[in-house]
Structure 1
Amino acid sequence: MSTPLLSVRGLRSGYGAVEVLRGVDLDVAPGEIVALLGSNGAGKSTFNQTVSGLVAARAGRVLFDGKDISATHYRDIVRAGLIHVPEGRKIFPNLSALENLELGSFARARERRAANLERVFGIFPRLKERTRQLAGTMSGGEQQMLAIGRGLMGEPRLLILDEPSLGLSPLLVEELFGLIATLHGQGLAILLVEQNVGQSLEIAQRAYVMENGAVQFSGTGAELLATDRLRRAYLGV
């Protein structure tokens, strides 16, 4: 693997007296899709929020493009090009689709907003048809497109996608994973945090499996699909 764009070592964090992450190591190379898998409560979302600066790290290091961002403010992390599309979409329901997209370039790439809008509309043509529609009235699939599109407006160097398929129909999940593969084909590095194991491993170069706040094993998609450890991690058998 080339020099990692994101390198996490010994990361610990949590909430109050509760420690959730217990020494996580993870790498993402430039242009790579890496899947972070695990059942509910494994610590995946806490990992995303800690790397993104939304939750304070208690120990360990997070390096982005070789710079330690472990104690960096989340706005500066966004400005560096590490952009997090959160679980649950977190769109602004009372703003239009266009206004939500424009907010994505508030901290980064504001001067290229018009060009990036056209790029997003090229990837998600449905959003162009709904620029004036209030985001809260859009379908679940359209809201997920909007959340990803908003992330792309900031010209990410690494895009963290937290449970992007959650709540979507099987047809929309298929479409979503196709779009993620398209973004990867354009050279974007992606950390895909998902419970949809099969489709994640189909498009990821490598994957990590997290249990109880720690990475238990990792490997290529083919390696993980061939091991019983993956089944045990999810089913406990």
Structure 2
Amino acid sequence: MTALLQVQGLRAGYGAVEVLRGIDLRVGDGEAVALLGSNGAGKSTLNNVVSGLVRAWSGRIAFDGADLTRAHYRDVVRAGLIQVPEGRRIFPNLTVRENLELGAYARGRERRGQNLERALELFPRLRERAAQLAGTLSGGEQQMLAIGRGLMAEPRLLILDEPSLGLSPILVEELFALIRSLRDGGLAVLLVEQNVGQSLEVADRAYVLENGAVRFSGLPSELLGSDELRRAYLGL
């Protein structure tokens, strides 16, 4: 499978503290990859470095063959690499429609109308609340809004950072069904989650981070099939 995102030897951190210690990671075109690990393993830092929000110390990030290692985050978005961050980070004092339309600010502006319609078809509850202030939505609806806003930018790769955090079990089921549908539709997804079981059900491949380094990479069946790996890296 052609590598859409290729991360090689990536090191990064904050101040003098190294968080990522030589990360190698690949996401193929149309592939869903799960990035697993406990809090503090470096998952969100990796997302932010790939997205251009945190500078890499060394290593290389290539997206669709282009070197994005030192790229500004706006150029990363324009290339089609879109992150839906942990915590949703919607604009609470703007309406649902306005939040969605902002997703097309840097990419997909020409097709904003049709992309808006697509997002509202995916999330009928957002259509019902299009004129409502985003801050008045429930947690699950805010997560729908954050994902819909990401889709407005016509991503080639969508990074989802802890999308199930704080959601009810029913909404978690709906969320992972959506992720599976997006993958089946040909969208590449990097899924960063602590919900191990659900993540491995929708992923084509998985990586496990521990203390800023990749401790496992391979098929979900390999990870789940090894008692040693499950105990060591997943606590199962």
Q: Same fold (TM over 0.5)?
A: yes
SS in 2 for 1:230: helix
In 1: Cα distance, 2:181 partner to 2:126 partner: 17
The aligned counterpart of 1:33 is 32
Deviating 4+ runs (over 6 angstroms): none
> Residue in 2 aligned with 1:171?
170
Distance, in Å, in 1 between the alignment partners of 2:148 and 2:210 is: 30
Tell me, yes or no, if structure 1 residue 231 matches structure 2 residue 236.
Answer: no
Local SS of the residue matching 1:55: coil
Any idea what SS the aligned residue of 2:135 has?
Answer: helix
Matches within 5 A, 1:43-192: 43-192=42-191
Alpha-carbon contact 2:196-2:234 (below 8 Å) kept: no
Q: CA deviation at 1:104?
A: 0.1
Q: Deviations over 1:59-82 (max 9, x none)?
A: 000000011100000000000000
Tell me, in whole angstroms, the C-alpha distance in 2 between the residues paired with 1:225 and 1:121: 36
* TM-aligned CA deviation for residue 234 of structure 1: 3.4
Which runs of no fewer than 5 residues in structure 1 stay unpaired? none
Look up the SS of the partner of 1:5 in the other structure.
Answer: strand
Query: Are residues 1:206 and 2:205 paired?
Result: yes
Distance 1:186 1:229 in 2: 31
Unaligned 5+ runs, structure 2: none
Please name the residue that 1:15 is paired with.
Answer: 14
Kindly provide the amino acid, as one letter, of the partner of residue 135 in structure 1: A
Which AA in structure 1 matches 2:85? P
Deviation at 1:88, TM superposition (A): 0.4
Amino acid at match of 2:58: A
- The letter of the residue matching 1:120 is A
Query: 1:122 & 1:207 partners in 2: Cα distance?
Result: 30
Where does residue 219 of structure 1 map in the other structure?
218
CA-to-aligned-CA distance 1:18-75 (integer Å, 9 cap, x gap): 1100000000000000000001110000000000000000000000001110000000
For 1:177, give the aligned amino acid.
Answer: F
Matched to 1:176, the amino acid is L
Contact preservation (8 Å) 2:205, 2:219: yes
Sequence identity, in percent? 71
SS at match of 2:3: coil
Equivalent-residue separation in structure 2 for 1:231 and 1:64 (angstroms): 34
Whole-angstrom distance in 1 between the partners of 2:99 and 2:37: 30
**Residue type of the alignment partner of 1:231:** R
Instruction: Give the total of aligned pairs.
Output: 235
Question: 2:15 is matched by which residue type in structure 1?
Answer: G
State the SS of the aligned residue for 2:52.
coil
Q: Offset of 1:122 from its aligned partner?
A: 1.1
**Counterpart in 2 of 1:197?**
196
Q: Report the residue type matching 1:234 in the other structure.
A: L
Counterpart of 1:12, as a letter, is R
| TM-align CA RMSD | 0.9
SS of equivalent residue, structure 1 residue 40: coil
